[in-house]
Structure 1
Amino acid sequence: MGSVALAVTDGMLHFELSVAYEVFGPAPAAVTVPWYDLAVCGPDAVRVGRFRLEPDHGLDRLRYADTVIVPGWADVDVDPPADLVDAVRAAHEAGARVASLCTGAFVLAAAGLLNGRRATTHWAHTEILAARYPEVAVDPDVLYVDNGSVLTSAGKAAALDLCLHLVRLDHGSAVANTVARRLVVPPHRAGGQAQFVATPMPSRDDHPLAALFPWVIERLDQPLTVEDLARRARMSSRNLGRHFRAVTGTTPLQWLLTQRIRRAQELLETTDDVVDTIAAATGMGTATTLRRHFNRTVGVPPDTYRRTFRSRYEPTVPSVPPVALDHVQ
């Protein structure tokens, strides 16, 4: 996780490049953990949109990075440069985790890194990606896909969410939330060993669920039911389910469970509370129930999750309220 290399060349999209630099560049003042060593790698000076960029290192530096980020590729109608494709492939073969932002997926596909894997890109280009690289399982509906050593994101804002997802995997929920707060965005994605996709909050204040989400978040320690949520939203349970599916892509119960797991992650990282106490604070009731749901959702037991982050460092960052998330396969 220590070193991150941005792979750039002529024709890269400046928004995705800037997103990666903002996330993996200088750490927020409130973060005291060891941060990333960021390098911008490319062939001489390159054109990024209307800007001229002089990389710090050549593309050969990619193979020494722990994580390689490939920003969006502007012209998907032509093949990406062979030297970029070769360098990204070599970096992955050397053990780097490789992530593409938006149409950067075309570079990963050209390098053969997506063969036999599920992947995504900007919705406007998923059909082109699937047609050109039939060995790639292109999913047009998700915001990002995590295959472990190879990750891909959809367009624009999803690039930021994937970058925050990587920070969360490396440093935990509290640190990722702090980075998101500096960027003035909610930490839409959360992940341990399970993949999460954003659950967007209602875009209008007058949306039927606009007041419900924060009301639920403040009461995660209580045994809330679908009927409780429907009553609060002043609608039938069936109507509530329809609105939830439209906004979050999941059911009220699954959304509520994800919020409880999300809160448990933060408490495991930032407190010394025993699992029984955390189970009560997250509305799980008992430690047994928390362990069962946590292990199934995150992929590891709560105690293991806590040791993973506490063994690296003791985060000393302020906590922020959890946000709406939903779990996908």
Structure 2
Amino acid sequence: MHTVAVLALDQVIPFDLATPLEVFTRVRLPDGRHPYRVRVCGPGARIPAAGFVITAPWGLEGLADADTVIVPGRAEAAPPPGEEVLEALRAAAARGTRIASICAGAFDLALTGLLDGLAATTHWAAAAELARRFPAVEVCPDVLYVDNGQLLTSAGASAGLDLCLHMVRRDFGSAVAADAARLAVTPLEREGGQAQFIVHPQPPVPRGSALEPVLAWLEEHLDEELTLDVMARRSGMSGRTFSRRFREQTGTTPLQWLLRARIRRAQFLLENTDHTIERIADQAGFGSPTAFRERFKRVAGTTPYGYRAAFRSRERS
């Protein structure tokens, strides 16, 4: 029997808490057995959530013999977890326990230091803040979930469902996971590398920052060859200084920002014009249709043609 401990902390998001309960309690093996034992654990017996109180039958000792620990997301204004919670997570990791976060649960997991040096994700709207607060974590804002083996993180609430099904598939195979997906009325096929399908706004910079005119200029010249040296010269800074200040103020690197800006330009053109893929590749600054297709699929999780078919403006359809 595989024990899943779901950690309930103050102001936990109810959907994030319910998702692992819904998935793991419904899993059945071919012989009808339930392979998972699910428990809700917390630092106290009564956990305040949005508009009601959750009862946690298990204390933090419930993490001690768990095979998997789930850290759900919490409200933005939630207080940081106590040191006893962070120590319980670190101790679980030291024992080899699999630990997964859902949505903003990545912030609590990152506080333990366990994500340092690893790739991780969270809801796209919080990705820049996660990168700013935890620079040792490689934040991937454009994926559904990241599996590092022992440590896993997911994006928004629906991506948490994808992550839970992914763990079921890892534990008991695709057939068992597919049955669990059918019970949850969701497809099993969404892989972790698939994008969150959001046209992300770029992270804001402080008003009056020296980066503001540089970013405005970049948006107007996406179809040109833009290297780090070009951007640094435009800002009047050295390459090293520019890169450091850029990351401090946006939570991402200049080249990552540029790639996302070009993807967003391409998304707009795919949705609102009849331009060919070749022309869009040139307008968005990808250099060649082949490079455009490869990078677009890596970031958006689908081909330019697939994106156009799914998101084309209704007025043009």
Instruction: Write the mapping of 1:21-170 to structure 2, written as runs, cut at 5 A.
Output: 21-27=21-27, 32-42=32-42, 43-75=44-76, 78-170=79-171
Q: Which runs of 5+ in 1 are unaligned?
A: 191-195, 202-235, 254-329
CA 1:133/1:54 → structure 2, altered by over 3 Å: closer, same or farther?
Answer: same
Q: CA–CA distance in 2 between the matches of 1:86 and 1:11?
A: 20
Match of 2:264 in 1: none
CA 1:60/1:120 → structure 2, altered by over 3 Å: closer, same or farther?
Answer: same
Q: Does 2:193 correspond to 1:197? A: yes
Task: Give TM-score scaled by structure 1 length.
Answer: 0.58
Q: CA–CA distance in 2 between the matches of 1:146 and 1:64?
A: 22
SS in 2 for 1:75: coil
Q: CA–CA distance in 1 between the matches of 2:163 and 2:50?
A: 22
Match of 2:311 in 1: none
SS in 1 for 2:48: strand
**1:159-205 CA distances to partner (integer Å, 9 max, x unpaired)?**
11111110111111111111111111111335xxxxx434799xxxx
Residue identity opposite 2:2 in structure 1: G
CA 1:117/1:248 → structure 2, altered by over 3 Å: closer, same or farther?
Answer: closer
Q: CA–CA distance in 1 between the matches of 2:163 and 2:38?
A: 17
Q: Aligned-residue CA RMSD in angstroms?
A: 3.2
Match of 2:9 in 1: 9
Residue identity opposite 2:10 in structure 1: D
The offset of 1:92, in angstroms, is 1.0
Match of 2:188 in 1: 187
Match of 2:219 in 1: none
SS in 2 for 1:25: helix
Confirm or deny: 8 A CA contact 2:142 2:196 kept in the other structure: no
Match of 1:18 in 2: 18
Match of 1:249 in 2: 301
Instruction: Write the mapping of 1:218-233 to structure 2, written as runs, cut at 5 A.
Output: none
CA 1:172/1:141 → structure 2, altered by over 3 Å: closer, same or farther?
Answer: same
The offset of 1:91, in angstroms, is 1.1
Q: CA–CA distance in 2 between the matches of 1:187 and 1:15?
A: 19
Q: Looking at both structures, which has the greater relative contact order when contacts are Cα pairs under 8 Å and sequence separation is at least 6?
A: 1
Confirm or deny: 8 A CA contact 1:41 1:55 kept in the other structure: yes
Residue identity opposite 1:128 in structure 2: E
Q: CA–CA distance in 2 between the matches of 1:18 and 1:90?
A: 25
Count of equivalent residues: 216
CA 1:200/1:107 → structure 2, altered by over 3 Å: closer, same or farther?
Answer: closer
SS in 1 for 2:18: helix
Q: CA–CA distance in 1 between the matches of 2:115 and 2:6?
A: 19
The offset of 1:29, in angstroms, is 8.9
The structure number with the bigger radius of gyration is 2
Residue identity opposite 1:159 in structure 2: G
Confirm or deny: 8 A CA contact 2:144 2:193 kept in the other structure: yes
CA 1:39/1:95 → structure 2, altered by over 3 Å: closer, same or farther?
Answer: same
Residue identity opposite 1:163 in structure 2: C
The offset of 1:156, in angstroms, is 1.4
Q: CA–CA distance in 2 between the matches of 1:19 and 1:188?
A: 18
Q: Which runs of 5+ in 2 are unaligned?
A: 198-275, 281-289, 306-317
Residue identity opposite 2:39 in structure 1: A
Match of 1:205 in 2: none
Confirm or deny: 8 A CA contact 1:28 1:182 kept in the other structure: no
CA 1:31/1:187 → structure 2, altered by over 3 Å: closer, same or farther?
Answer: farther
SS in 2 for 1:39: strand
Residue identity opposite 2:193 in structure 1: V
Residue identity opposite 1:27 in structure 2: V
Task: Give TM-score scaled by structure 2 length.
Answer: 0.60
